[in-house]
Chains A and B, each alone.
Chain A
């Protein structure tokens, strides 16, 4: 296994974890429906029972996603997390609120009342989805940072990665980033609706309501997603040539990401396959009243689309976090990765992933029976 192979392997794994995470954001989507579908107390309980049985999976995937990113691409961890401080802190803050809310909301003596915990869940549903979308969008539209390893040699300001003064707010209030943030938010709400239909099985009392919610949210998602993909395809990106982990050439390439979708045809194909599955699942889920498995089509489609976006951002000599301040500082899967030894050691560990997925699936089948 060469270093290059390992870097590709780990980018694929990060993409897979990212895809699973976005799929599992249906939990957040469901939480954001507390004041619409869940306006009636009975429906809120049904909704939150559904989401409450899965929230730990989303949470754990987020933890693993963070840990895996740290282990495989530490320069991303140090640059983006330490730089876009407010973006990540707000995301984390919302997940802290979520972690206790399911357990505490109905418990006696919870001090603040269940409405407060429900509000926490709503905040996590909204902020978690939108800001994670913004964070992923930075893979295409860049961040305001520089990386100077030589800073380590100074005493007064030894920090290698430096970010602009807004520290993440500039990313949050960037319209192009928000397009993906909004898309992820409505995608999660559509997924939550389909998940509930699937979960409730023979209980059809809420079908019409949920299918209508899926139709509206799915429609808004599709508009914003098409807009995002269009913006990505029109964007100018960089092609970075590297030798031994050091940048030797940087070229500005108009329609860079569109080229990536075409040149690496399998990336484009994955995106199209994902989009087709989402649209098929959405359409049938909304209009076929007997169809209860739409969440699997939209879920797998979401997974494929996210994976394709990650691949488009990171492969074909593309920096997965372009620097707006200094193109030479842009992060690629070559210059941001861990060493060959660490990637190899972690690759051995990654062999357990299928077993982990298998026991999760086994346990949940038993629990859902």
Chain B
């Protein structure tokens, strides 16, 4: 394994590629499934025939998107085995369970009732069909629940202990997986899907307005999409605030990277606009930013909900300053010491292994005690210097701002959209908004992907926080193999994405040329 760092980089790239592509489709599935279910409910409740073609139109777009999400999801699940072999063994006892449950409880639900939703219009009763549409939406969200429980656990590993005989972690408390972080992450991700789907629905509806044949169809769709999207965005912001507090408590290094902050202070300001200095390191005297404008006290409030709280920067954390469970600033363990204690844990594990082979119970007990004392820093033993424990600051900093600013823009977007659609005929004349909606759509995806980028890049270099860095989580395969599969997946995913977008554009274009509501009644 001479090319270890190259292999780690390409393995990360491949996983990132798959995850990024997967997340292009999943939020639309999560949000559009709810929107479609609401539309079909309106159809059954009001008996107004107009809702039927509206439901079917959005359901068709949902179906086109759903297929490719399924394809990329399969790769993600198996990549834990193919590319992260050590990870799969080290924490498979805990991590495998939510993945299996996702398949069993959610994926079958989604697939089975999804088939009824797409193909069952004339085969099952209207009520059964509506139930199937809702079950598809619920199945998609339950699927997300288990995946996000697994993801949250990687960032906040709880409910487990290390078994030195097997040299792996084993589960001790299944319910601990549903930590506050997991619950928050779930709602944050699912509601962001609602927000994204709302923008999509409004943008497509605006295109229909532009083509002039489907005014009523578009107005009704914008109302449903607007309310679901607005609710989703507000709840995403609320849970995002919760996430910030949790990150400050459990992953202070990620928060510091999000802010590009090296030296924290009490009443810490939040950088509104800034350029991170690429030459800045945790132990030099370079300025943190090449230029920046900050909002006083805002980071303290964001991280701890306290006006004057101390928020540690990267250098502070490396030296051992952080925030504890109660939100107080404490002097904990410096990163240098963490490396030393990680090495002590690894040595204790080696001693334990040797004693076990020699059947020396006393030596085993001694080594186990030493291991238990230092195990919380086990992952640090793979670092030669503390620099390796710092995430990419520039990318995390930038993506955080992309997410926040675009999210704020879309809040305004929804308010304007709903205002225009409810003020009599204003939407009909607001041609400028139609264009804003269509041009803004890709930025909603950028906003959503940026959120994941903050969450995942910001926690580097860990696959399991403090316990297993990426360098120790990989498979024993040549980097060249991963390079080949990376480009193969990149090519296929891109070709399929092009096909998906093209099919959607063609379908919407075709429908925009006729009156969908009356065309359906013919």
Contact = CB atoms under 8 A, between A and B. Distances in A.
Interface string A60-102: 1011101110111011011111110110110011011101101
B353 A153 contact: yes
Interface stretch (A108-116, A182-190, A296-304): A108-116
Contacts of A360: 108, 112
Contacts of A85: 82, 475, 477, 481
Given A70-B100, A89-B82, A349-B104, A95 B74 contact: yes
B294 interface: no
Interface stretch (B162-170, B180-188, B297-305): B162-170
A70 B73 CA distance: 16
A342 B74 contact: no
Contact of B100 (A67, A89, A112): A67
A81 B498 CA distance: 30
Interface in B324-379: 346, 349-350, 353
A53 B123 CA distance: 14
Interface in B192-243: none
Given A77-B92, A160-B89, A82 B103 contact: no
Looking at chain A's contact residues, the main secondary structure is helix
B476 interface: yes
Interface stretch (A265-273, A319-327, A361-369): A361-369
Contacts of B138: none
Interface string B98-139: 011111110110011111100110011000100010000000
Nearest to B124: A366
B81 A367 contact: no
Interface in A145-179: 149-150, 152-153, 155-163, 167
A107 B95 CA distance: 38
A56 B165 CA distance: 41
Given A70-B96, A99-B71, A111-B499, A78 B170 contact: no
B6 interface: no
A53 B1 CA distance: 46
Contacts of A103: 63-64, 66-67
B419 to A, nearest CB: 34
B272 interface: no
Interface stretch (B394-402, B430-438, B504-512): B504-512
Contacts of B420: none
A26 to B, nearest CB: 17
A158 B86 contact: yes
B485 interface: yes
B101 A349 contact: yes
A345 B81 contact: no
B165 A338 contact: no
B4 interface: yes
Interface of A: 53, 56-57, 59-60, 62-64, 66-68, 70-72, 74-75, 77-83, 85-86, 88-89, 92-93, 95-97, 99-100, 102-104, 107-112, 149-150, 152-153, 155-163, 167, 244-246, 338-339, 341-342, 345-346, 349-350, 352-353, 356, 359-360, 363-364, 366-367, 369
Given A66-B81, A104-B64, A363-B116, 11 more contacts: A56-B114, A66-B103, A67-B101, A71-B100, A96-B496, A100-B67, A108-B503, A160-B89, A163-B476, A163-B477, A363-B112
